[in-house]
Structure 1
Amino acid sequence: MEFYLSDLLGDAVINQSKEKIGTVLDFVITDISATLPRVRGLVIKRGINKEAVFIPYSDLSVISPKLVKLTTDLVDLTPFIQRNDEVLLAKDVYDKQIVDIDDRRLTRANDLLLEEAHHVLVLKGVDVSVVGILKRLKIPTPANLLKHNIIDWKDVQFLGGPSPMKFKIHYKKLEALHPVDIARIIFEGPGYKQGSRVLASLQDPIAADIIEELSPKLQQNLIEAMKLDDVANVINQMPAHKAADLFVTLGSDYFKKILPLMSLAKIEQIKSLLNYPEFSTGAYMTTDYVAIPSGMTLDQVFTHLSKIEQLPDFMLYMYVLESEFANKLVGVLSVYELFAQDRRSRVETAMVKNLIVSHPQDHIKDSLKKMHRYNLSALPVISRNNGNRLIGVVTFRDAVSYYLPKRWKVRIRHVLPILE
């Protein structure tokens, strides 16, 4: 049997002897991130002082839109105090923002649908329609004009409200979306404080991807609302060239505070990028790429890729090195060839040996021209004077940002000194 929460709130609560002992104030669940959160019990208000008292679900014999009946005359009159793991449906979920995972949109919980079956009461769905609001206001709605719009709870990501919640919210459903969608959803409604709490709760690689998708202004407002430890964790997961861009956005004063919390390896990567001239290829390249030794078989490449915790966002090519211990570039293996060739083949037979490369000192326009001329989506960047040593990759997507406003002079003048 299904019930809307709005139909149950305010119901009379009677004991086994059919004496009224109070009215329904709220329902309690403990795991709001579950597929079907179970109701542990209800909170009633009783007496002249309207004291809140908890009734376990096991003490209920009848639940209906007219009344709630208990199986006993004995009620624990201890005043109800909400615990940290408890969620009150009316108090904590009504009117709060939720994400419709299927439609990738932000909406609001206007009413809640409960279902009772086999002596278990669960939160089944959310009504996001106008009907949900009208029912709570006790305004009659013609059935043929307005209809409920129910989203199953399994397809809902609860975001919470503007104030910190006592209970912990897990964001596994949200993490399944594309970072672009998550960025849009978080900042369409919740605001920076709540958005920073959501972001800090996501896995670091996902949080880093989301920040990369934001405009500089949104990045600044969001990060300034986050704790320094959380920001450092996110930046350590970002590609160095994206982290360098973030340095410019936030300014040197902010990063003086955060540098002690960052990994030394990430700081060194950022320093190396910031040292390149303003419009050089080195200023636009990334150190986030996949390199493999030439002695591997293609089957071993698949195994190698499966062990990489997070692959680069843009990976049409893998860069083949002379050996596992040498950084000398000897070839490029495309993802297409990886799948097209016999997996027993060796990398050196499937790779392209006639390399089209760029150098960090080359003007970025020259690298763009090469990519256009040879129909490439990325170029390996090698050291000009150090025997084809691979130092980075420049993608077409990053290179075309040359035609957008850049602040490399500001970056080098104000940010680089604090890294020394």
Structure 2
Amino acid sequence: MKMKRYFAPDMRQAIRRVREDQGPNSVILSNRRVPGGVEIIAALDYDEALVNQALGAYENNSRGEGEAAEVPSGMDKPYPGENIGDPAAESSIQSIRNDLKALRDLMEAPLLQFGWGEMRKVQPLRANLLKRLMALGLDATLCREIVDKVVESGRMENGWAASLKLLAEMLPVSDDDILSEGGVIALVGSTGVGKTTTVAKLAARFALRHGRRHVALITTDSYRIGAHEQLRTYGRILGIPVQTAGDKDELAAALNHARDRKLVLIDTAGVSQRDMHLTEKLSSLNTGGQEIHNYLVLSATSQAQVQSEVIRSFQKSGLQRCILTKIDEAGSLGGTLATLAHHGLPAAYVSDGQKVPDDLHPARGEKLVKHAVELMQQRQEALTEDALAFNFGGLVANAHV
């Protein structure tokens, strides 16, 4: 009988290593939490008597590490019902939780594999469509919603094209055009997402269409070294004056000075979505005078979870639209599209480079989906069966929410 010990960060990875090493007929003899992850003992050519003998020896050898020393007879032993300290109790509870999680993971992994395998057999068209949508980078909830709608419409024979068309229709894009209507627009967002460059692109585009005398630039970024100078450099190149506003009163004065301009663009300081004072900092944009429209600048290179966190945080101060930047740097676009679909925040523009003003385009659902498919094809990375089964577990869970 061949017994072997495996270590991995979590139970799913441990089971996968067992299966890759010993094949599907291996038997898991024991599992336990260890520093840094989990430990599994698995065997081929299973023999119960030999297993019990081997595990007994293993437990005897490791017992000295896990058991406390016996209390000497001369010392007081705690009464069975005595509270011996909250930290110890918390530690015991956490240990139980860890054991339960390990047991759940151990049971879930083969069940998810089984469930995904059954779907591929019983509903091959649905399974293939889910697989392609997952490869696109969409989350389980959106994948299921799209496939359900395609099934209901009776378009499964052309399911992939129907799914992409449906995804494009689900993306919130804005019909409003800053370059036509103008207004007072503040670009807000985290540090490093490209707010200043986007301000320059919008200003250049508007100036080309309406004339530079109809554009004004204001910066409120007093935190980043060189932030004022960067925008002033763009202003000099474009022939557009740039004003600096360090507080609400100065912003009100700058807006009043630019009241005859059709388009006023405000470049704000980058603020982390986890900044406790985010709402307070953004409140300085509310001058009580002209109406300011907040556009969130969102980087397509950020993780979907981070993008959702950013939207939720900045929405507290009011958002009208968003602008997607760094499209050209993103390795996958599916997560970003899913984020837009879930939050319903309309995208006004997309930026796909550093060129001013060329690399700025109106957001269009079909073009975003097309680019997401192109990125998927460039990656040429097929999802593993384990990843598909894991995502299938998310589909099942969401189906019962």
**Which bracket does the TM-score occupy, shorter chain normalised?**
under 0.3
Structure with the larger RCO, 1 or 2 (CA within 8 Å, 6+ apart):
2
Larger helix share, 1 or 2: 2
TM-score (normalised: structure 2): 0.24
Larger strand share, 1 or 2: 1
TM-score (normalised: structure 1): 0.24
